[in-house]
Amino acid sequence: MRLKDLAEHLGLSQTTVSRALNGYPEVNEATRLRVAETAQRLGYRPNASAKARHRPLGRHRHGAARLL
């Protein structure tokens, strides 16, 4: 199951689902719980290679700032 599929199942945006799964405080607690429970029930697992590609801008994997 992909994040997109989970979002469609819940009727939420992919951004909201991603933020809920990552514990962003901007996401309502009830929404976070609903997303987490549904993800567990449906067997959602984050894509490790996609997560590795999503790093904060200006940072390398080892945490040193990148010269822009």
User: What pLDDT, on a 0 to 100 scale, did the predictor assign at position 35?
Assistant: 98
User: What pLDDT, on a 0 to 100 scale, did the predictor assign at position 25?
Assistant: 94
Domains of the chain, start order: 3-48 (1.10.260.40)
User: What pLDDT, on a 0 to 100 scale, did the predictor assign at position 52?
Assistant: 67
Q: What is the pLDDT of residues 19-44, one digit of tens each?
A: 999 999 999 999 999 999 999 999 99
Residue 17: exposure state from Cβ atoms within 10 A (0-12, 13-18, ≥19): buried
Q: In this structure, what are the phi and psi dihedrals at residue 57, rounded to the nearest 5 degrees?
A: -60, 135
